């Protein structure tokens, strides 16, 4: 994730930022990849030097394997303690203990969605997709479409 963020932030500049160039020069001769800490240092120095607003959106953090999730949460904690005025982070996730615990130590706004409301939206979306006259769905009976809508909607559990 951090590599991608550094790459995206670098793409906003006409010139390659010195921090990126220095890290590349240091590691390319040895054939090594940058460490988590090196990527954090580069990213934060680039964010601090940028005049642009930087928005990071992390969707479905709960679906990231726990090892990587720990690093991402540590990154978010570091970012919030540095108080960058131009860095904004949006994280979506189901309520998982490790994420809730980590986020409780950071300034944040939690928006909780009721599972039944999300399931109703999913049902409505599935209904609209099944109603579209596509070649792939044209052979399905109305009874089967109703069964698909009910099955997906009732078993979505907010996802």
Q: What is the dihedral of CA 149, 58, 70, 37, to 10 degrees?
A: 160
- Average pLDDT over the chain, rounded to an integer: 85
Between 66-81 and 97-104, two packed helices, what is the crossing angle to 10 degrees? 10
Q: What is the pLDDT of residue 58?
A: 93
Question: How would residue 22 be classed by pLDDT, with cut points 50, 70 and 90?
Answer: confident
Residue 13 or residue 111, greater confidence: 111
The model's confidence at residue 101, banded by pLDDT at 50, 70 and 90, is very high
Contact in structure between 68 and 43 (CB atoms under 8 Å)? no
Residue 158 binned pLDDT confidence (cut-offs 50, 70, 90): low
- For the chain, what are the domain ranges? 2-104, 115-155
Q: What is the pLDDT of residue 76?
A: 93
Taking CA atoms, 22 is separated from 10, 27, 89, 110, in Å, by 13, 9, 27, 38
Tell me the pTM.
Answer: 0.70
Task: Give residue-wise pLDDT tens across range 60-78.
Answer: 999 999 888 999 999 999 9
Q: How far apart are CA 153 and CA 127, in angstroms?
A: 9
Q: Which pLDDT tens digit goes with each residue over 114-142?
A: 777 777 888 888 888 888 878 777 788 88
């Amino acid at each position: 994730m951090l590599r991608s963020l550094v790459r995206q932030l670098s793409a906003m500049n006409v010139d390659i930022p010195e921090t990126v160039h220095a890290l590349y020069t240091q590691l390319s001769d040895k054939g090594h990849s940058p460490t988590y800490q090196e990527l954090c240092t580069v990213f934060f120095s680039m964010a601090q030097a940028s005049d642009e607003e930087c928005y990071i959106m992390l969707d479905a953090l709960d679906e990231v394997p726990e090892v990587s999730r720990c690093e991402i949460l540590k990154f978010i904690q570091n970012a919030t303690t540095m108080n960058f005025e131009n860095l904004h982070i949006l994280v979506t996730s189901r309520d998982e203990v490790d994420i809730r615990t980590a986020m409780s130590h950071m300034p944040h706004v939690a928006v909780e969605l009721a599972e039944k409301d999300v399931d109703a939206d999913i049902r409505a979306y599935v209904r609209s997709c099944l109603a579209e006259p596509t070649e792939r769905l044209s052979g399905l009976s109305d009874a089967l479409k109703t069964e698909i809508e009910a099955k997906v909607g009732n078993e979505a559990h907010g996802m």
